[in-house]
Amino acid sequence: MSQFVTTHFVQQYTTNVQILAQQKGSRFRNAVTTGSYVGKQGVPVDQFAPTVAQKRTTRYPTLTPADTQTDRRWVYPSDYDWNDLIDNIDKLRMLIDPQSAYVMNGMNAMARAMDDEIINAFFGTAQTGANGGTATTFPGTQIVSASEGASAATGMNVEKIKAGIQLLLANEAWDPSSGQRLHCAITAKQNRNLMDEVQVINADYNPEKPVINDGFVMSWGKVDFIHSERLPSNGSAQTQCPLWVKEGMHLGMWQDLSADVSQRKDLAGLPWQVYLYGTFGGTRIQEKMVAQLPCA
């Protein structure tokens, strides 16, 4: 039984149940591609390398196959669950039923785990090959300089975003004329950095949609920002902010988030158990569709 459930007793507190400050819901799920799988691993995509068309210089030449190089990217599942117990005796002392609040709290924990799977896949090692036996690391050529736009390592700025976009464009990984938008994850620190950038906060540079909403930089040009305090740091204590095309990242779902509230008749007091579970995993689809913006 949760030892903290007694803090809800009406003799001491009001009937309002408050979920303490935390990230609520997944912030990355809608910014990546998703797929459903069964088994021990899944294939979100078969990869085909670009080929070159041959110019004909004679009549009836011998045909030469393009010999298209193919590869396969894999995603692997991780199992997550969460549970807590609510004693019937404690429930009798409350003016409210806390089950819905417990479920909400657990779902938030599971959603953060889902985001962690995606975040770890941005710059982690992806598995490639016929059976997933080839380790594909994130290339250094996709990492923008931490000092971009400054004389030394600096926080987030417009020059870093421009450099990241330049990488994606040079890779032919993003077509701005298609209307497709980019995503960039930032912490509160990088948000503050951007709010000091004239090219970001001035609507003349960003006429398409609102720039700032309730103190958060929502977008710049074709880039939509996602706030997350869960981003990793490199060996120089610089936050590794990803800039990516949606098709470059993937979330594999074996079992979506599910909740069960049932009575445990095998335990004294017949407590109610709140149990949540899910099976999912993240992977990077294409290295050229993801850029890293290190921020001091």
Q: Could you report the per-residue pLDDT of 260-291, keeping only the tens digit for each?
A: 888 899 999 888 888 999 999 999 999 999 99
What is the pLDDT, as a whole number, of residue 175? Answer: 92
The Cα 248–Cα 44 span in angstroms is 11
Q: What pLDDT score does 15 carry?
A: 45
The distance from CA 141 to its chain's CA centroid, rounded to whole angstroms, is 22
Count CB neighbours of 100 within 10 A. 12
Q: Where are the domains of the chain?
A: 5-47+71-129+251-283, 139-250+285-295
Q: How far apart are CA 244 and CA 242, in angstroms?
A: 6
In 21-121, the DSSP E strands lie at 33-36, 42-48, 70-75, 78-86
4 vs 1: CA distance, rounded Å: 9
3-class DSSP state for residue 268? Answer: coil
In this structure, what DSSP letter does residue 141 have? Answer: G
Residue carrying structure tokens 């609510």: 86
The predicted structure's pLDDT at residue 109: 92
| pLDDT in the model for residue 125 | 96
CB 193 within 8 A of CB 149: no
Q: Give pLDDT, residue 115.
A: 97
* Spatial CA neighbour of 195 closest among 155, 230, 236: 155
> What pTM was computed for the model?
0.85
pLDDT digits (tens, 9 = 90+) for 177-226: 888 999 999 999 999 999 999 888 887 777 766 688 888 999 998 999 99
Tell me the fold of 5-47+71-129+251-283. Major capsid protein gp5 fold (3.30.2400)
DSSP label at 25?
S
Residue corresponding to tokens 């309002």:
16
| pLDDT tens series, the chain, 296 aa | 566 655 554 444 444 445 455 677 789 999 999 999 998 888 876 666 677 788 888 888 887 777 767 678 899 999 999 999 988 766 666 555 666 778 888 889 999 999 999 999 999 999 998 888 899 999 999 999 999 999 999 999 999 999 999 999 999 999 988 889 999 999 999 999 999 998 888 877 777 666 888 889 999 989 999 999 999 999 999 999 999 999 999 999 999 988 888 889 999 988 888 899 999 999 999 999 999 999 99
β-strand partners of 216? 213
Torsion angle of C-alpha atoms 9, 10, 15, 17, degrees rounded to 10: -20
Determine the pLDDT at residue 203: 77
Helix or strand run (H / E) with residue 112: helix 99-123
What DSSP state is assigned to residue 124?
S
- Pairing assessment for the beta strands 290-295 and 239-245 based on DSSP bridges: antiparallel
Buried b (16+ CB within 10 A) or exposed e, 37-52: beeebbebbeeeeeee
Those residues with Cβ within 8 angstroms of residue 294's Cβ, 6 or more apart along the chain or in another chain: 143, 144, 145, 146, 153, 234, 236, 238, 239, 240, 241
Compute the chain's Rg from CA coordinates. 24
User: What are the structure tokens assigned to 194, written together?
Assistant: 């951007």
Which residues have CB under 8 Å from 71's CB, separation 6+? 46, 47, 49, 128, 129
Residue 13: predicted pLDDT: 42
